[in-house]
C-alpha cells in the first residue's frame, strides 16, 4: 500500500519540497522565435508551439528586449499565473477582486476582469478562490455529482468577508499624480516615500507587494532580491523601462507594467519646443537678457521650414513629433527598423536606413528606447557621417548618445546645436561639459512633465498595478506578453485544468531519476495557428514545480524556473475528431523515468500519465494511467485501486464520513468487470492520517493515494 513517503515529499500528506529533482535542459523547437516584432505586438499566433523548451525561449525574449525594449512579444501571458500575486502573502484571504461584481470596476479593467478573474487567481499554497456566485460553473454531468454545492458557496462568502481587511501595500517611490494615488488607496495601503536611497529602497521593499517608480529610481536586481519574493508588481509611471532590471524581475516572477500612452503628447510637444527653441536660441537669448544684455545679432537663428528632420524611432512619440514637424513645413524622414512603412507613408514620412537618415538630416530628433542596441547610437563614427551644422534633439534617453563624442562634435562644428532633455547621468554633474556647453539647450528631463500627462500617467499606472495585484490581465506588461481577452476567456478553464493535471502528476511521483522530462499532449480540433499553448504550458509548469519546491511560479517566470530546475517540457498535439467548438478536447501530462506511489498511474512506457478535459467549464480528471475515471478537479482527490466488487464506494464513503470528511464526487473506472477498478473520490477536506490508514486497511483496496489540488 502506498503512502505519502517519497524522495519528493516528506512523510506528511501535506506535500513539501524536494530539492534534488531536476537537471538537464533540453532542446527547443519553439516556433515563437525571432520574428522582429513591433513593440506591443501582443499575440503572435505564429508562436504556436509544437515542441518547446524554456531556455531558448528565454534567450529569444532577451533578444526582443535588446531590439525593441518593449518586449511584449516574449514568453507567455502574464495574467493567469500571476495567480493573484498579492495573495501569496495573504494566504488565508481572498483577493478583493472577489468583492465586486465585474461591472462595478474601472472601465479599463472591467472587460478583462470579467474574463480573467476566476481561472487566473489561484495561490501559491492555498486553494484557488472559489468562483463567485455570478460565475458559478455548471455542475459536471454523468458520473460526477456534486454533493456539497451549497456549502461551497457559503464557504466562498466566508472567504470573501475574510479577505476584506487585509490589503496589499504599494510603495510609491517617486512623485505621482493625485488621481493615481487616490485610485491606489481604494485598493491598497499606499506608502509614498520619495528620494529613498538605494539602501532604503531595499530595506522597505520586503514589506511591499508593488512598487511604483518614474525614471529616477533604479530598480535593480538587488531590489528584487531584497523583496524576499513579496514584490509582485513594479509599475513604471511612464514609458521608458531602462531603469528596471527586467531580467531580474522575470527571474523573481515579478511583473513589470508601464504607462505607455499618457505622456506621448507631452514628450512630443517638448521635442517640438526644444526644436523650435534651439533653432531660435530662445533659452540663450533669454539668459542674455536676464544678464542685462541685448544681443540681437548674436542670436540669429535658423528657419525650420523646408529643412529635413530625421526622426529616429518612429513609435508613439516619434510619430507625433513627425506629424507636428510636417505642420511646421519640414521634410520628415524616419528611421525605425521595426516600424511599418505603410504607416509612415500614410503620414507622408519616408522610412530610410540609419545612415541615410543621419546623413540627409538638418535636424535629428531621437525617439528610440535605450537598449543595448541603441546605447551610444550617436558616436564619433556616426557624427562623422552627418551634415556639417546638423542640430540634435534628444527627448529619449541620454544613453543613446555618446556624450563625450557629442561634446567633440559640438566643438568641431559638426553639430551646430543640441537640445537635450535627458542625460546619461541625471542630474548631470555640476561640471558636465555637455550640459554647460554654450551650444546646448538643456532641460531637466521634463518631457513627460505637464499637468495633464502626469495625471494621465498616474491613473494609467495605478490601474495597471491594481489590476495586476488583483490578478487581472496586465495589458501593459513589459516582461510578459498579453493575451487578447477573448483568447484568455476561451482558455481559462483549460489553464486551470493544466495546472491541476501538473499538480496531480507530480504528486504521483515517488522517486526514480527525478522529474526531468514532462510531455504534454493537447488533443484539439484546431490547427497550430489557432491554439497558442504558451499559457497552458506555463500553468502546467506551475502545477508541476510548486508542489515540490518553495518557488512561486507564475506566467512571468514559469519557463525560466523550469529551465533553472532542468525540467524539460515538450508539447505535442494530436488531432481530435470532434465537431466541437472548444479549443481543446483533452490535455494529457506524462512524466517520464520516475516511479510512482500509485503504481496504477504508470503506463507500460514507464511514464506517469494523467489526462483531463473540461466539461461544462469545469476541469475533470478523465484518465489515470490506463484507467478511465471521471472526477471533477475540485478540492482534493483520493485515488484507490481495488478489486472490482460491490460495496467499495460505501465502505470508503463510510470511513470518510466517520472522520467528518465531505465527499464531493466519486467515480469508478475499471479495466475489466469484477477484476480491478480505480475509484476517484473528491474530498473537500484533508482526511486525517487515521482515515487514510483505515482506507488502506480495507482488504479489497490494493493501493491508494491522497492528492492535493
Ligand atoms: N523625456 C521624457 O520625459 C520622455 C517621455 C516619454 C518617452 N521618453 C522616451 O522616449 C522613448 C520613446 O517613447 P515612445 O512612447 O515613443 O515609445 P515607443 O515604444 O512607442 O517607440 C519607440 C520606437 O523606437 C523604435 N526603435 C527601437 N529600436 C530602435 C532602433 N535601434 N533604431 C530606431 N528605432 C528603434 C521602436 O521600433 C519604436 O517604434 C521611450 O523609450 C522613452 O525612453 C522620454
Ligand atoms: O520614459 C518616460 O516616460 C519619460 O522619460 C518620463 O520619465 P519621468 O516619469 O521620470 O518623467
Nearest CA to ligand 1 atom 42: 240
Task: For the chain, give the longest Cα–Cα distance.
Answer: 108
Closest residue by Cα to residue 143 from 632, 661, 496? 632
Ligand 1 atom closest to the CA of 319, numbered from 1 = 16
Q: For residues 230 and 515, what is the distance between their CA atoms, to the nearest angstrom?
A: 27
Give 371-430 pLDDT, tens digit per residue. 989 999 999 999 999 999 999 999 999 999 999 999 999 999 999 999 999 999 999 999
For a pLDDT cut of 70, what percent of the chain falls above it? 75
Of 201-210, 371-380, 653-662, least confident by mean pLDDT is: 653-662
Over 90: is that where the pLDDT of 254 sits?
yes
Query: Which residues fall within 8 angstroms of residue 624, CB to CB, at 6 or more apart?
Result: 598, 600, 601, 609, 610, 639, 678, 680
Last residue in a domain, options 609, 625, 641: 625
What are the C-alpha distances in Å from 56 to residues 28, 29, 31, 249, 546?
A: 6, 9, 11, 18, 22
Whether residue 239 is contained in a domain is answered as yes
268 and 402 fall within a common domain = yes
Specify the pLDDT at position 489.
81
Whether residue 212 is contained in a domain is answered as yes
- State if residue 266 touches ligand 2 by the CB under 6 angstroms criterion: no
286 and 365 fall within a common domain = yes
282 and 384 fall within a common domain = yes
367 is catalytic: no
Q: For residues 67 and 625, what is the distance between their CA atoms, to the nearest angstrom?
A: 46
- State if residue 177 touches ligand 2 by the CB under 6 angstroms criterion: no
Specify the pLDDT at position 280.
98
633 and 602 fall within a common domain = no
CB 112 within 8 A of CB 123: no
Over 80: is that where the pLDDT of 20 sits?
no
Q: Which residues pair with 523 in a beta bridge?
A: 574, 586
Q: Report the separation in Å between the CA atom of 435 and the middle of ligand 1, taken as the mean of its atom positions.
A: 22
Task: Write down the catalytic residue from 426, 452, 486, 658.
Answer: 426
> Cell numbers at residue 50, please?
509544437
> Cell numbers at residue 305, please?
521650414
* Number of domains observed in the structure of the chain: 4
DSSP SS3 for 97: helix
Give 267-315 pLDDT, tens digit per residue. 999 999 999 999 999 999 999 999 999 999 999 999 999 999 999 999 9
Specify the pLDDT at position 23.
25
Specify the pLDDT at position 168.
96
Give 466-518 pLDDT, tens digit per residue. 999 987 767 788 887 666 667 778 888 999 999 999 999 999 998 777 899 99
Q: How confident is the model at residue 548 (pLDDT cuts 50, 70, 90)?
A: confident
Whether residue 201 is contained in a domain is answered as yes
CATH of the domain at 535: 3.30.1330.90
Over 80: is that where the pLDDT of 578 sits?
no
What are the C-alpha distances in Å from 30 to residues 24, 26, 538?
A: 18, 12, 14
Helices (H), 1-84: 54-68, 79-82
pTM across the whole model: 0.68
Q: For residues 466 and 463, what is the distance between their CA atoms, to the nearest angstrom?
A: 5
CB 177 within 8 A of CB 455: yes
270 is catalytic: no
Nearest CA to ligand 2 atom 10: 215
649 and 584 fall within a common domain = no
282 and 376 fall within a common domain = yes
528 and 601 fall within a common domain = yes
Specify the pLDDT at position 482.
61
Specify the pLDDT at position 527.
78
Whether residue 481 is contained in a domain is answered as no
> Cell numbers at residue 571, please?
508539447
- Helix (H), strand (E) at residue 524: strand 517-524
- Helix (H), strand (E) at residue 153: helix 149-162
Pocket test for ligand 2, best of 70, 173, 214 (most atoms within 8 A of CB): 214
Q: Report the separation in Å between the CA atom of 354 and the middle of ligand 1, taken as the mean of its atom positions.
A: 15
As for ligand 1, residues whose beta carbon falls within 6 Å of it are 39, 68, 70, 239-240, 260, 263-264, 267, 312-318, 335-339, 367-369, 373-374, 395-397, 421-422, 445, 447-448
Task: Write down the catalytic residue from 270, 335, 367, 397.
Answer: 397
- State if residue 180 touches ligand 2 by the CB under 6 angstroms criterion: no
For a pLDDT cut of 90, what percent of the chain falls above it? 58
> Cell numbers at residue 24, please?
538537464
Give 7-17 pLDDT, tens digit per residue. 111 222 222 22
Q: Report the separation in Å between the CA atom of 316 and the middle of ligand 2, taken as the mean of its atom positions.
A: 14
Considering every ligand atom shown, identify the ligand nearest to the alpha carbon of residue 368 and give its number. 1
CATH of the domain at 376: 3.40.50.720
- 244, HSE (Cβ side, Cα atoms, 13 Å): 32
Q: How confident is the model at residue 709 (pLDDT cuts 50, 70, 90)?
A: confident
Average pLDDT, the chain: 78
Over 90: is that where the pLDDT of 171 sits?
yes
Of 10-24, 178-192, 535-549, least confident by mean pLDDT is: 10-24
Ligand 1 atom closest to the CA of 338, numbered from 1 = 37
Over 60: is that where the pLDDT of 157 sits?
no
The residue with greater pLDDT, 62 or 217, is 217
562 and 651 fall within a common domain = no
Instruction: Report the pLDDT averaged over residues 543-561.
Output: 87
Q: How confident is the model at residue 182 (pLDDT cuts 50, 70, 90)?
A: very high
Instruction: Report the pLDDT averaged over residues 559-573.
Output: 92
Q: How confident is the model at residue 610 (pLDDT cuts 50, 70, 90)?
A: very high
Specify the pLDDT at position 483.
65
Q: Between 107-116 and 451-469, two packed helices, what is the crossing angle to 10 degrees?
A: 20
Closest residue by Cα to residue 650 from 634, 663, 631? 663
Specify the pLDDT at position 699.
86
Give 625-640 pLDDT, tens digit per residue. 999 999 999 889 999 9
DSSP SS3 for 22: coil
Over 50: is that where the pLDDT of 22 sits?
no
Whether residue 478 is contained in a domain is answered as no
Q: How confident is the model at residue 579 (pLDDT cuts 50, 70, 90)?
A: low
397 is catalytic: yes
Whether residue 601 is contained in a domain is answered as yes
332 and 381 fall within a common domain = yes
433 and 535 fall within a common domain = no
> Cell numbers at residue 95, please?
483577493
465 and 529 fall within a common domain = no
Of 355-364, 426-435, 506-515, 637-646, least confident by mean pLDDT is: 506-515
Whether residue 237 is contained in a domain is answered as yes
Give 122-155 pLDDT, tens digit per residue. 222 222 322 222 222 222 222 222 334 444 444 4
Q: How confident is the model at residue 329 (pLDDT cuts 50, 70, 90)?
A: very high
Specify the pLDDT at position 27.
27
Task: Write down the catalytic residue from 67, 89, 236, 445.
Answer: 445
Last residue in a domain, options 586, 605, 625: 625
Its domain, for residue 323, covers: 263-445
Q: Using CB atoms within 10 A of its CB, is residue 467 exposed (0-12), middle (13-18) or buried (19+)?
A: buried
CB 698 within 8 A of CB 691: no
Considering every ligand atom shown, identify the ligand nearest to the alpha carbon of residue 216 and give its number. 2
What are the C-alpha distances in Å from 214 to residues 237, 239, 337, 493?
A: 5, 9, 27, 37
Ligand 2 atom closest to the CA of 449, numbered from 1 = 11
CATH of the domain at 656: 3.30.70.260
Beta strands 618-624 and 608-615 are: antiparallel
> Cell numbers at residue 261, please?
500612452
Last residue in a domain, options 599, 625, 651: 625
Whether residue 669 is contained in a domain is answered as yes
Considering every ligand atom shown, identify the ligand nearest to the alpha carbon of residue 237 and give its number. 2
> Cell numbers at residue 486, please?
477573448
Over 90: is that where the pLDDT of 163 sits?
no
- State if residue 448 touches ligand 2 by the CB under 6 angstroms criterion: yes
> Cell numbers at residue 308, please?
529635413
CB 223 within 8 A of CB 231: yes
What are the C-alpha distances in Å from 655 to residues 164, 695, 706?
A: 37, 7, 14
Of 66-70, 662-666, 699-703, least confident by mean pLDDT is: 66-70
Considering every ligand atom shown, identify the ligand nearest to the alpha carbon of residue 367 and give its number. 1
Over 70: is that where the pLDDT of 607 sits?
yes
Specify the pLDDT at position 484.
67
543 and 559 fall within a common domain = yes
Amino acid at each position: 500500500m502506498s503512502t505519502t513517503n517519497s524522495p519528493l515529499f516528506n512523510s506528511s500528506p501535506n506535500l513539501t519540497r524536494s530539492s534534488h529533482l531536476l537537471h538537464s535542459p533540453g532542446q527547443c523547437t519553439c516556433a515563437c522565435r525571432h520574428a522582429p516584432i513591433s513593440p506591443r505586438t501582443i499575440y503572435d499566433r505564429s508562436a504556436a508551439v509544437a515542441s518547446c523548451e524554456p531556455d531558448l525561449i528565454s534567450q529569444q525574449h532577451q533578444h526582443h528586449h535588446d531590439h525593441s525594449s518593449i518586449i511584449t512579444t516574449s514568453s507567455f501571458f502574464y495574467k493567469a499565473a500571476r495567480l493573484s500575486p498579492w495573495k501569496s502573502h495573504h494566504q488565508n484571504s481572498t483577493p478583493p477582486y472577489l468583492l465586486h461584481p465585474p461591472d462595478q470596476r474601472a472601465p479599463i479593467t472591467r472587460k478583462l476582469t470579467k474574463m480573467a478573474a476566476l481561472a487566473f487567481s489561484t495561490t501559491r499554497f492555498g486553494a484557488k478562490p472559489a468562483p463567485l456566485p455570478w460565475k458559478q460553473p455548471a455542475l459536471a454531468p454523468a458520473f460526477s455529482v456534486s454533493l456539497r454545492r451549497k456549502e461551497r458557496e457559503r464557504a466562498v462568502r466566508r472567504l470573501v468577508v475574510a479577505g476584506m481587511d487585509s490589503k496589499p501595500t504599494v510603495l510609491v517611490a517617486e512623485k505621482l499624480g493625485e488621481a493615481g494615488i487616490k485610485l491606489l488607496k481604494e485598493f491598497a495601503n499606499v506608502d509614498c516615500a520619495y528620494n529613498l536611497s538605494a539602501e532604503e529602497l531595499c530595506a522597505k521593499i520586503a514589506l511591499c507587494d508593488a512598487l511604483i517608480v518614474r525614471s529616477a529610481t533604479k530598480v535593480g536586481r538587488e531590489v528584487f532580491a531584497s523583496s524576499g519574493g513579496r514584490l509582485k508588481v513594479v509599475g513604471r509611471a511612464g514609458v521608458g523601462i531602462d531603469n528596471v532590471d527586467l531580467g531580474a524581475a522575470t527571474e523573481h516572477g515579478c511583473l513589470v507594467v508601464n504607462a505607455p500612452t499618457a505622456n506621448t503628447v507631452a514628450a512630443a510637444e517638448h521635442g517640438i519646443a526644444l526644436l523650435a527653441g534651439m533653432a531660435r536660441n530662445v533659452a540663450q537669448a533669454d539668459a542674455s537678457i536676464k544678464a542685462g544684455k541685448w544681443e540681437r545679432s548674436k542670436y540669429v537663428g535658423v528657419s525650420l521650414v523646408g529643412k529635413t528632420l530625421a526622426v529616429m524611432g518612429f513609435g508613439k512619440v516619434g510619430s507625433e513629433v513627425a506629424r507636428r514637424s510636417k505642420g511646421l513645413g519640414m521634410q520628415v524622414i524616419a528611421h525605425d527598423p521595426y516600424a511599418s512603412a505603410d504607416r509612415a507613408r500614410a503620414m507622408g514620412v519616408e522610412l530610410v536606413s540609419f545612415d541615410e537618415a543621419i546623413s540627409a538630416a538638418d535636424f535629428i530628433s531621437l525617439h528610440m528606447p535605450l537598449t543595448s542596441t541603441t546605447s551610444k547610437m550617436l558616436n564619433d563614427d556616426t557624427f562623422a557621417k552627418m551634415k556639417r551644422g546638423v542640430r540634435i534633439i534628444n527627448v529619449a534617453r541620454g544613453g543613446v548618445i555618446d556624450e563625450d563624442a557629442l561634446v567633440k562634435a559640438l566643438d568641431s562644428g559638426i553639430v551646430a546645436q543640441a537640445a537635450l532633455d535627458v542625460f546619461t547621468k541625471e542630474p548631470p554633474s555640476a561640471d558636465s561639459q555637455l550640459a554647460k556647453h554654450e551650444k546646448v539647450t538643456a532641460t531637466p528631463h521634463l518631457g513627460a512633465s505637464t499637468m495633464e500627462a502626469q495625471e494621465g500617467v498616474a491613473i494609467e499606472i495605478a490601474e495597471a498595478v491594481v489590476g495586476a495585484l488583483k490578478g487581472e490581465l496586465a495589458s501593459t506588461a513589459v516582461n510578459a506578453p498579453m493575451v487578447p481577452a477573448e483568447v484568455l476567456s476561451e482558455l481559462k478553464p483549460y489553464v486551470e485544468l493544466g495546472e491541476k493535471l501538473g499538480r496531480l502528476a507530480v504528486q504521483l511521483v515517488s522517486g526514480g531519476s527525478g522529474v526531468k522530462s514532462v510531455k504534454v499532449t493537447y488533443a484539439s480540433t484546431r490547427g497550430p495557428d489557432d491554439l497558442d499553448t504558451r499559457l497552458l504550458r506555463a500553468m502546467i509548469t506551475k502545477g508541476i514545480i510548486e508542489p515540490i519546491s518553495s518557488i512561486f511560479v507564475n506566467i512571468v517566470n514559469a519557463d525560466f524556473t523550469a529551465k533553472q530546475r532542468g525540467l524539460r517540457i515538450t508539447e505535442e498535439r494530436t488531432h481530435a475528431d470532434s465537431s466541437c467548438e472548444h479549443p481543446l478536447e483533452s490535455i494529457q501530462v506524462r512524466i517520464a523515468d520516475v516511479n510512482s506511489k500509485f503504481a496504477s498511474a504508470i503506463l507500460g512506457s514507464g511514464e506517469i500519465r494523467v489526462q483531463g478535459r473540461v466539461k461544462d467549464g469545469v476541469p475533470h480528471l478523465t484518465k489515470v494511467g490506463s484507467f478511465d475515471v471521471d472526477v471533477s478537479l475540485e478540492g482534493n482527490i483520493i485515488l484507490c485501486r481495488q478489486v472490482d466488487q460491490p460495496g467499495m464506494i460505501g465502505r470508503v464513503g463510510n470511513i470518510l464520513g466517520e472522520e467528518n470528511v465531505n465527499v464531493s464526487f466519486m467515480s469508478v473506472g475499471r479495466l475489466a468487470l469484477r477484476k480491478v477498478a480505480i475509484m476517484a473520490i473528491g474530498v473537500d477536506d484533508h482526511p486525517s492520517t487515521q482515515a487514510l490508514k483505515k482506507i488502506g486497511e480495507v482488504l479489497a483496496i490494493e493501493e491508494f493515494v491522497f492528492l492535493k489540488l
